[in-house]
Chain A
Amino acid sequence: DAKTTQPPSMDCAEGRAANLPCNHSTISGNEYVYWYRQIHSQGPQYIIHGLKNNETNEMASLIITEDRKSSTLILPHATLRDTAVYYCIVRPHLTQGGSEKLVFGKGTKLTVNP
């Protein structure tokens, strides 16, 4: 089962910031927070991930609370092409040689309106 809770849907106006929340109150010390999005009929696309510090890349910013029990994905200037389902996932990083699976929940359907 997914270890995260997200709102099922959100709306955002084009050009405004989209702030997508995620709760992961049972996160463990070696678990990272990953965000993916899935545009209709395409495979999931990696956005960003982090452990405890805030992260930023060309797509988005990830803000993780100090207690690591929740996080927010920020799309600073949403466009119509950002309309998608956004998945927040907690994934452990192994200390040697393996890769843990990504466990998807139902995500948040973000609709960017003109």
Chain B
Amino acid sequence: EAEVAQSPRYKITEKSQAVAFWCDPISGHATLYWYRQILGQGPELLVQFQDESVVDDSQLPKDRFSAERLKGVDSTLKIQPAELGDSAMYLCASSFPTDTLNTEAFFGQGTRLTVV
């Protein structure tokens, strides 16, 4: 069964350091999402891509976060510099367009980031 792949699974970094997360969506999924989930809360969208273009990054803290999907396939989310408040689970998801039959978004296992 196809899966959304994320790496690393866990990351510990010191504050002020740079950190990057990688996501490989399910083959053929044009839409890719990055979510952040703070402990005890539901996931919150950071950025959404349609192919290589950003569709929604309204909740992305652009002073320190960046995301790219250069060839419209895999994606990288970067934080520089990391702050203590960035400790969270970072989830990647992908889906077909919602004008198709199979519209559900599939999530990866996430990257658990701890900033110390």
Interface residues of A (CB under 8 A from B): 2, 32, 34, 41-46, 49, 85, 87, 91-107
Contact = CB atoms under 8 A, between A and B. Distances in A.
A34 B110 CA distance: 21
B103 A44 contact: no
B98 A98 contact: yes
Contact of B98 (A45, A85, A94): A94
Contacts of B43: 44, 102, 104
Contact of A99 (B42, B105, B109): B105
Nearest to A45: B107
B31 interface: yes
A44 B107 contact: yes
B91 interface: yes
A34 B98 contact: no
A2 B93 CA distance: 18
A102 B105 CA distance: 8
Given A34-B104, A43-B91, A46-B106, A94 B42 contact: no
Interface of B: 4, 30-31, 33, 35, 41-45, 48, 50, 55-56, 91, 93, 95-99, 103-110, 112
A106 B42 contact: yes
Contact of B45 (A32, A49, A103): A103
Nearest to A34: B104
Contacts of A97: 50, 97, 99
Nearest to A104: B42
Contacts of A92: 98
- Nearest 6 CB-CB pairs, A to B? A104-B42, A43-B107, A99-B31, A93-B98, A46-B104, A44-B107
